A and B are shown apart, each in its own frame.
Chain A
Amino acid sequence: MSSSYLVLPVLIPLLAGALSLLFWRSHTAQRWLGVMATGALLWTAVLLLLLTWREGIQVVEIGNWPAPFGIVLVSDLLGAIMVVLTGITGFATALYSLTSIPKQHEKYGYYPLLHLLLAGVCGAFLTGDIFNLYVWFEVMLVASFALIILGGERAQMEGAIKYVTLNLFSSALFLSAIGLLYGLVGSLNMADVADKLSQLSGEERGLVSVISLLFLVAFGIKAAAFPLFFWLPASYHTPQVAVSAIFAGLLTKVGVYVLFRFYTLIFIDDTDLTHTILLWMGILTMLVGVLGAAAQFEFRRILSFHIVSQIGYMILGLAIFTPLALVGGVFYIMHHIIVKANLFLVSGLVYRLRGSYQLKDLGGLYRSHPWLALLFLIPALSLAGLPPLSGFFAKFVIIRAGIEAEQWLAVAVALLVGFLTLYSMIKIWNEVFWKAVPEGASCTPRIYHPQSEKLGMYYLPIIGLATMTVLIGIAAQPIYELAEAAAAQLLDPRLYIDAVLGERP
């Protein structure tokens, strides 16, 4: 039955989505179904990770069609880790949604879309087929399109048009690249493609580089890397905060994950070209993101720009391409998803209490809600990289890898961006929590469920994620070892290829 662990992370959210569609008349049933399904997703994901950790890369040939002809689901450690993180974010969001999603949104299918989104994300993490990856990307995108316009406010429409256009553009590039790749090697199974590309003759190498750059642009847009990130800060602050949180935690990371997968498994011949471009992408992404955040005075927009800047660190980890740097990149993804989703959830709670995201309208929350202030500080300082929180180790590993690889510019920028991130977080701290309530600021709490609301349901996921941040910091050693093992698998593509296609002489 080991094969079912691979299928369940995709099957559970899809089935939950179908059932929530059937129960669309009962909001209560949908809410609790959401919590149960994401809980089950988290549980199976952890089991999958344990299985992969103990027994190596797991492969299932869907429908019993043998690879490379059929579609395979593959779980190596990186994929399994990502699925666990999806489970964590999904579970936290489902809990948070219990009281934070207005009835109107539930009526228009919030829960089915949420499950569909999670299914798409898990599918993208587990698939071993490039075209299937495209399908999961589209599943994820359709769900996210609909989630981003739920509510139908003007800002959401404007944000959604940019989001939809640029993501569809990137999908078209992705599809074109798939076409060219298929024309070149005649296969779309990732392991098979990697195997065949390594045997290509010299003349066709040039075309491989073109294809790899086309993929780079497509996934660069999805991952919101410089200079292709403009859709993100234009749209992520517009939907409901639970939606923002799951977008911030997961969606761009799918792009990053695919970059990790493609540029450690498939396009590894021309690293002088691709990884140099990745390096500059990483550096500029970090810098531009953090500078953009410095100029913002809206809670969620600041956080959105910080997503961009943090993506830079992960790409940097991939671009340096030493074992240590990859460990740093994987560690950074783990830390970032939890911290970023949590920060958005905190901003939602602030909005619930004060009815605004504008820093100038907020203030005095430290006096009235000291525990909330603490719960903000944990992820915020972790994001900036202060010890002993999770972000410190993530940044430390990447910067150390940079020093060892003698990428001095990257190291300098990474350190500088750390300071600027701290500046941004202190700005939020000062404005939202520390300063007195500004005069004339309207304070209208946003309560969506007046009868049944319990503030504890807002706090519960925030506390859970903050605890995880602290734990990753305190118990960094086992997490580091996990990241190390995942990076070791990434650096040896033969493992992946043999697991999928079987050992060949």
Chain B
Amino acid sequence: MEVVMAVVVGILYATALYMMLRRSIIKLVIGLVLLSNAANLLLFTAGGLTSGAPALIPEGMSALPPGAVADPLTQALILTAIVISFGVLAFAVVLIHRAYEVVQQDDMDEMKDTDR
């Protein structure tokens, strides 16, 4: 399972970078979305995959049940990261919308006035 996830994460990173290197700002934002998803999946995979064992201790038990138990921390971390990237990307969408209105261009190459 880890191998599959690793490949998926790699593909996501590659796609994200490819999209970010395009000239269109829409594709840039799509690239950013993919990038944050790739990072979340990496966090998920690196934190250790367990299947069929929820991160819950049955009622009445004071210690961990025997066998594998999912790590609740990675799930909490990813939930937080998803919330954050949701907020940030919502902002990015507003930003490109405004930028498009002001610049009237979907081309990054036309946006180099501040680099001179």
Contacts and interface: CB of A to CB of B under 8 A. Distances in A.
Q: Does A pair with B?
A: yes
Interface of A: 131, 134-135, 138, 141-142, 145-146, 149, 152-155, 157-162, 164-165, 168-169, 171-173, 175-176, 178-180, 182-184, 188, 230, 234-235, 237-238
A178 B43 contact: yes
Contacts of B73: 182
A135 B102 contact: no
Given A138-B87, A145-B95, A179-B47, 6 more contacts: A152-B98, A158-B112, A161-B96, A168-B32, A169-B32, A182-B73
A165 B28 contact: yes
A396 B14 CA distance: 46
A230 B112 CA distance: 12
Contacts of A155: 113-114
Consensus secondary structure, chain A interface: helix
Given A158-B112, A161-B96, A179-B43, A172 B36 contact: yes
A134 B35 CA distance: 16
B95 A161 contact: yes
Contacts of A152: 98, 102
A5 B28 CA distance: 42
B24 to A, nearest CB: 12
Given A142-B87, A168-B36, A180-B42, A131 B99 contact: no
B103 A154 contact: yes
Contacts of B114: 155, 158-159, 162, 234-235, 237-238
Contacts of B88: 138, 141-142, 145, 168, 171
A158 B43 contact: no
B113 A158 contact: yes
A176 B84 contact: no
B92 interface: yes
Contacts of A182: 43, 46-47, 73-74, 77
> What 5 A-B pairs have minimum CB-CB distances, sorted nearest first?
A183-B46, A179-B43, A157-B99, A175-B39, A179-B46
26 contacts: A131-B77, A146-B91, A149-B98, A152-B98, A154-B103, A154-B113, A155-B114, A157-B95, A157-B98, A157-B99, A160-B95, A164-B95, A172-B32, A175-B36, A175-B42, A175-B81, A176-B39, A178-B77, A179-B39, A182-B43, A182-B46, A182-B47, A182-B77, A183-B46, A183-B47, A183-B48
Given A169-B35, A172-B35, A161 B111 contact: yes
Given A141-B88, A165-B32, A172-B38, A158 B111 contact: yes
A175 B78 CA distance: 10
A190 to B, nearest CB: 15
Contacts of A175: 36, 39-40, 42-43, 81
Nearest to A158: B111
B50 interface: no
Contact of A176 (B28, B32, B42, B87): B42
Interface in B22-50: 25, 28, 32, 35-36, 38-40, 42-48
Interface size class of B (residues with CB under 8 A): 35 or more
Contacts of B98: 149, 152, 157
A169 B92 CA distance: 13
Contacts of B84: 134-135, 138
A154 B47 CA distance: 43
Nearest to A179: B43
Name, among A159, A176, A184, A235, the residue most crowded by chain B CB atoms within 10 Å (CB to CB): A176
Contact of A161 (B45, B81, B99): B99
Nearest to B110: A158
Given A131-B77, A131-B80, A145-B91, A157 B43 contact: no
A447 to B, nearest CB: 25
B59 interface: no
A155 B112 CA distance: 9
Nearest to A160: B95
A413 to B, nearest CB: 25
Contacts of B40: 175
A169 B31 CA distance: 10
Contacts of A188: 77
B91 A142 contact: yes
A495 to B, nearest CB: 27
Contacts of B74: 182
A54 to B, nearest CB: 35
B103 to A, nearest CB: 6
A310 B99 CA distance: 31
Contacts of A146: 91
Contacts of A162: 114
B75 to A, nearest CB: 12
Nearest to B43: A179
A17 B112 CA distance: 34
